[in-house]
Structure formats: structure tokens, C-alpha cells
A = this chain, B = another copy of it.
Amino acid sequence: MKIQVQTQPFDLSTEVAALYAANPKVGAVATFLGLVRDTNEGDGVATLTLEHYPGMTEKSLAKIVDEAKSRWEMLDCTVIHRVGELKPTEPIVLVAVASGHRQDAFAACAFIMDYLKTQAPFWKKELTPQGERWVEARESDDAAAARWQNKN
């Protein structure tokens, strides 16, 4: 299990291959890549700057991954979240889950993303033509995380 917060880019092929290349039990890798969009709430976004809470970030991501491991068969997993200033089309976050079968891989990957969005201490500030503004939390993200409380 690899959990990393970093400013540098990452290579998707390298990260995903690290989950399956040495483990022939892996039949499925579900991956999520989150990217900076050039528009939000109707305004142009020139840059997105990510702040985080060092220490708690890694701790909360580890808890989320542990919770996913308790619910689904996970053979390996990588979570990389970037911080600092990013531009549209740049990757922000990678969650990749390796499992024997696809249902576990998909569910665990979606679960980790939903919890990351509501539990991991990252904050986004965007630069728009109107100036800088902090991105507001979305109720739809709370709802997405809440749906895992009653099923797996």
C-alpha cells in the first residue's frame, strides 16, 4: 500500500504497473485520476492551488485505505495526491486498487475517492478572472460518502 502527498507529477503506467507486474494474483486494477478543469461554477480557472494538513493527510488516507481493505479484497493500492499550484489538465489525484476481480477493485476505488473527498484534509483555491477563491465543499460529496454507510 503506497500513500503519498507530493508536488511533483507521477507516471500513471509506472504507478499502476507497480501494483500488478510482480503479482500474478492481480486480475483487475481499477484506477481513478482526478484532473484540474478549466471551468468551475461557470468561471474560468487559470490555476488550482492545493493546501493540505501534513501528517493528518497521510494518516487520514491510511485510515480510508484500511477501511476499504476491511470491506473488499484488495491485493494492493496506491493513493497519490498532489499539492501546490496546478494548471488545467494536470492530474491532482490517483487512486489505483488491485484485486483478484473487478467488482472489488471498482468498489474499493470508488469508496476511497468518496471518503478522500470528505475526510482527507486538502483544500482547493482557484484563480479565476474575478480573483482567488476557496472552493466550497459540495453536498453531493457528502451524499456520495454517506451511501457507503448502509451497504458495501
Q: A23-B89, A27-B37, A89-B24 are in contact. Are A105 and B32 (CB under 8 A)?
A: yes
Considering only CB atoms, which chain B residue lies closest to A37 in the complex?
B27
Contact A102 B34 (CB under 8 A): yes
| Cα distance, A113 to B24, chains bound together (Å) | 21
Least distance between A116 CB and chain B CB atoms (Å): 10
Contact B32 A30 (CB under 8 A): yes
Within 8 A of B (CB), among A16-45: 16-17, 20-39
**A136 at interface (Cβ–Cβ under 8 A)?**
no
| Cα distance, A110 to B102, chains bound together (Å) | 9
Q: A13-B11, A39-B25, A144-B103 are in contact. Are A89 and B33 (CB under 8 A)?
A: no
Q: Mark A106-122, 1 if CB is under 8 A from B, else 0.
A: 10011001000000000
| Cα distance, A28 to B106, chains bound together (Å) | 15
Given A12-B12, A25-B37, A27-B35, 20 further pairs, Cβ under 8 A: A16-B33, A22-B89, A24-B38, A25-B39, A26-B37, A26-B89, A27-B37, A28-B32, A28-B34, A29-B31, A29-B33, A30-B32, A30-B33, A31-B31, A31-B32, A32-B102, A34-B102, A102-B110, A106-B106, A106-B109
